Each structure stands twice: as C-alpha cells, then as structure tokens.
Structure 1
Amino acid sequence: MSQHLDDFSPQSLVQTIEANIHEFLLILGKTGGGEERQGTEIQWVIGGAPISYHNCVIHAYLTDETADEVIKASVERFQAYKVPGSWHVGPAMRPLDLGTRLLAQGFSYGGAEAGMAVDLLALHEQVSPPPALVIKRVSNEAELQTWTRTLASGFGEGAIEANWVGSQYRRLGFDPSGAWRHYLAYLDELPVATTTLFLGAGVAGIYFVFTLPQMRGQGIGGAITLAALRDARRLGYRIGVLGASEMGYSVYQRLGFREYCRLHLYEWKPSVTKS
C-alpha cells in the first residue's frame, strides 16, 4: 500500500507531498461542485468554494510563452464563478518565475507552508498533553457539527471556511474504510482541538490541525496529530505528510517531521466596486 521514507529520493518525496495535497484539494473542490480541469500543463478546481484557498490551481507546468495566458484563463474562471481564487505554487511548477507573473496580474502573496514528511515507524511519541485529554474519531453528524464549530473558533477564515469544509465532509460521509478521518480532542468533555487525516497518493496527509487559542501550549495539537498518524500506521501507511504553518512547525518537528520543500500561496480576490 505504502512505501518507506528511504524508498524516496528527496525530489520524489517532494512530489509525493505535493500529490497528497493536490488530491486533498481536488476531492474537496469537486465535492463542493467545482469545475475541474486536468492536463499535463495545468490542473485546477474552481467554483465550488466561498474561499480562495479551495478555488485553486494546484499544478502548472508551463512555458515562458504560455504562462501569462494560462494565468489570465484562471482569473477568467474565478470571475465567471464570482469567487476568490488561488494558485498553490510548489517546487515542481514551471516556469520558475510563476510567483512574479502572478503578482503582475493582480494576485497577492498569501505566504508559504513547509512541506514536511515523517517515517511513521520513527515517530517521536513522547507527547505530554493534559491527562484528561480524550481524542475521538468523528463518526456521525452530531460529532461533525462539533468538529465544525470547533474549527470555526479561529482556524483560517473562521466560520465561512469551517462550515464549507464541514459540508463537504458531510457529503463524503463517515465510511470507516474510506480515505477521510476526522478527529476531535476533548478536555473535561469540552471540544478543544481538531484534525483531519486524508489517505491519498500512498501516504497519510494531516490537515486542519487546530487548537483553541486559550488551550495552546499544552501539547494538545501534537497529541491529536499523533493520534491520526497512529491510525494511519495501523492501516499500513509508512509516511505522514503535511503543510506546516509557522505556528505549527515546531510541533511537527517534535513529532519527527522534517522539511523537504516550501509551498507558496498566491491569492486573487474580486475587486470591490464602490457604489
């Protein structure tokens, strides 16, 4: 099912990190009704989400001659659907000056995440969360609603993003043998953290790691991430991957993750016309 970390060259490991993220974004976008374009030169899913991150170009292998026209074409699709959009620019994308070209066509730089990976047989499992912490896998509608409300308390774009993601997870369902698994951490019976495990491209991807701001610094984020990775390991997966924010970077390092690449976000938003 899955391969060992040592089976990968650094370049192929980067490609695998990107492949998991691309599958994650594609499935969510298509589930939300987004328009998919697949090709060797360009890949996107646009129109299914209210936020820029999930109306996205996820792969581009373009030439100096074609890049600007394809960027314009993506903006035309954002405009047609009346949604904000984004390009997720990883190391495999071409041309190398894509970021400069995107900025020149009205995109703004949304920051970078570290593409990280870990051998699931070499996890650092010495986390020390509060003794009363309980981590459960989401298995029904009521638990998904709790997961969504918890994520909405401060992750990303707040309730808009959390409600959209929750609605897609509802459509994808709770198949215990499926590719998607969502987790809630409870402290004294109150939900305090979330994460999602996505099994794609032969590896275990970690997404939507969020701890309530007032509960941070207690090892809760590391504990819920570790719980998801242990589940993946029990299923036979050997590699965990994720895109780490600056806030989460040290948490994942302590679990044994290493950085292999940087993943850059460029965002486009419709201009606001004043009446």
Structure 2
Amino acid sequence: MEQPFDGLPAQAMVEMIEANTNEFLLTLGRLGGGEECSEADHQWIIGGSPLAYHNCVTRARLTEESVDEVIEESMRLLQSYNVPGSWHVGPWMGPDNLGERLVAHGFIHVGSEPGMALDLGQLNESLSVPDELVIQRVRNERELEIWTRTLGMGFGEGEVEANWVGAMYRKIGFDEEGSWHHYLGWWHGEPVATASLFLGAGVAGIYFVFTLPQARRQGIGAAITLAALQDASMRGYGVGVLGSSSMGYPVYQRLGFQEYCRIEMYEWALP
C-alpha cells in the first residue's frame, strides 16, 4: 500500500475509487434495464447484462444478522433474470467475513482488482509515444463500432462483453460535455487499442484499457491512458482512479498511479 497524497488521506482515496466504480457499474446496468436496489446498507443493479461483472452488488455494509438474507435475495434476483452475477467487495464493505459468507452460498472468489489512484498534478507525461501512433476520441457511431470491434478482440469476455458495452455506450451518445469519453489508438493505420474515461463521483475513472496482443510492449497502453487522463485534467479533474489488471499494473505505476486498496471479486454462475 502506497502513501497517501499530500492533504488526501488514504481512506479518502479508497472512497473515491469505490465511488467512481459504483457509479460506473450502476450507470451501465441502468442503461441495460437492470433492476436497482438502493438501501441504506446495500446497493445493486441486476438483470441488465449477460455479464456477471455487470449484474452486481456494488455496496454492502451488512451485519452478521443481515448478511445471509441479503446474499440470498441477490441470488433469487439473479435466478429470476436467468443471469450470472457478482459481488464487488471493497475494503469498507462488511461484515468482515463477507467473502466467506458469499462462498458458503455458492459464489466463487475469482480474484481481486488493485484499486489505484493518481494525483493528476503528478501525472508522468514524459513517456515516449510509439512512432505512427494516433489517438483519437470516439465521436460518432462509426468510430464506436471500430472501438467495439477492437475491444472484442481479446478484452474480458471477448465479443459478448464488447458488444454489450458498445451497445450501452451507443445509448449514451457522444456529448462533448458528458461524463463518458472513449479513445481509439491507431498504429500504422490500424486500430489496436481502446480506453474509456468516466467522469463520476468527482474523479476521472479509466476503464476498458486494451491493446491487441501484436501491438503490446510498445507503450501504446500507457499512451492511450495518458491521453484520457490529460483530457480529464483539461476538464478540471484532479484525481484519476482505476481498477488494474496484473498486465496493466506496471504500466499504470509508470504513469504515477499508486495502489490504495483491493476490490475482491466473487461470482455466481447459472446452474
């Protein structure tokens, strides 16, 4: 765990990471038509996606007395929509044995995402950019189609995930002053990389960073992430946040990101 930024305690950074992720998941789930629950001690969006990651419990501050009932209620809803689902268990969620209770009910622990944050005033902008790399912001449906097709060539669950996400972004549109902005990286005239910027909860969230395998280890992932963060900074945002893959972790460290927490992932599959 890294030291907090000057004037920003580590707990505040964790809360920013969790809040942006929460808004990101809820917004996409609503667009998909998911059923939302927002109680004082838990929150979810379920039924709007074919993906476990996006039929999810995003917040839970439960007690030993209430935890099993809420887990079972989320499972009944997943079953009623006939979709897989997940719990995104952050450090401020409870009770302390929440993960154990999920596993006892049939969820599988599938790993964790490092929650990372960056003071955009400390962004490392000196990284070298590969020759002939062009990064553009997606501004119309044709460009979003290319973005979607590129993402589907290896990110997450492949075409299924990319097509659903692309369809949700198509619903949002391309408002210059909106909360969502998407980026395409072109190298030697071919689309090879993607990224998305979500401006929510007062911070800039980075999502869907992907580079085609044949274009990796060239600095393209870092360059497209840098472009999105520079855009956020120009829009007045001071903090960037993201959940990192193991592959992306050293890339984000070079940009200046620090790890502040881990988001544990528990998934439930259809019988």
CA-CA distance at 1:109 after TM superposition: 1.0
Q: Secondary structure at the match of 1:49?
A: coil
Show the counterpart of 1:221. Answer: 221
- Quick one: which amino acid aligns to residue 105 of structure 1? H
Show the counterpart of 1:25. Answer: 25
- Quick one: which amino acid aligns to residue 194 of structure 2? T
Show the counterpart of 1:255. Answer: 255
Show the counterpart of 2:79. Answer: 79
> What is the aligned-residue identity percentage?
61
CA RMSD of aligned residues (A): 1.0
- Quick one: which amino acid aligns to residue 144 of structure 1? L
* Alignment check: 8 A CA contact 1:5 1:238 kept: no
Aligned mates of 2:6, 2:38 — CA distance in 1: 30
Q: Secondary structure at the match of 2:183?
A: strand
Q: Secondary structure at the match of 2:225?
A: helix
- 1:58-137 to structure 2, matched below 5 A, reads 58-137=58-137
**Structure 2, unpaired ranges of 5+:** none
Aligned mates of 2:267, 2:44 — CA distance in 1: 14
- Quick one: which amino acid aligns to residue 268 of structure 2? W
1:53 to 2:56 alignment:
no
CA-CA distance at 1:215 after TM superposition: 0.8
- 1:157-176 to structure 2, matched below 5 A, reads 157-176=157-176
Aligned mates of 2:250, 2:130 — CA distance in 1: 19
CA-CA distance at 1:129 after TM superposition: 2.9
* Alignment check: 8 A CA contact 1:5 1:239 kept: no
Aligned mates of 2:179, 2:102 — CA distance in 1: 33
CA-CA distance at 1:220 after TM superposition: 0.2
Aligned mates of 1:150, 1:5 — CA distance in 2: 35
Show the counterpart of 2:188. Answer: 188
Q: Secondary structure at the match of 2:236?
A: coil
Aligned mates of 1:125, 1:219 — CA distance in 2: 12
Q: Secondary structure at the match of 2:126?
A: coil
Q: Secondary structure at the match of 2:13?
A: helix
Aligned mates of 1:127, 1:148 — CA distance in 2: 27
Larger mean Cα displacement after TM superposition, 30-39 or 7-16: 7-16
Aligned mates of 2:118, 2:166 — CA distance in 1: 27
- Quick one: which amino acid aligns to residue 163 of structure 1? N
Show the counterpart of 1:142. Answer: 142
Aligned mates of 1:263, 1:126 — CA distance in 2: 30
Aligned mates of 2:6, 2:22 — CA distance in 1: 22
CA-CA distance at 1:126 after TM superposition: 1.9
Structure 1 outlier segments of 4+, above 2 Å? 4-8
Q: TM-score if structure 1 supplies the norm length?
A: 0.96
Q: TM-score if structure 2 supplies the norm length?
A: 0.97
- 1:195-206 to structure 2, matched below 5 A, reads 195-206=195-206
Aligned mates of 2:6, 2:75 — CA distance in 1: 40
- Quick one: which amino acid aligns to residue 14 of structure 2? V
CA-CA distance at 1:96 after TM superposition: 1.1
CA-CA distance at 1:130 after TM superposition: 1.5
CA-CA distance at 1:6 after TM superposition: 3.4
CA-CA distance at 1:5 after TM superposition: 4.9
Aligned positions, number: 268
CA-CA distance at 1:104 after TM superposition: 0.7
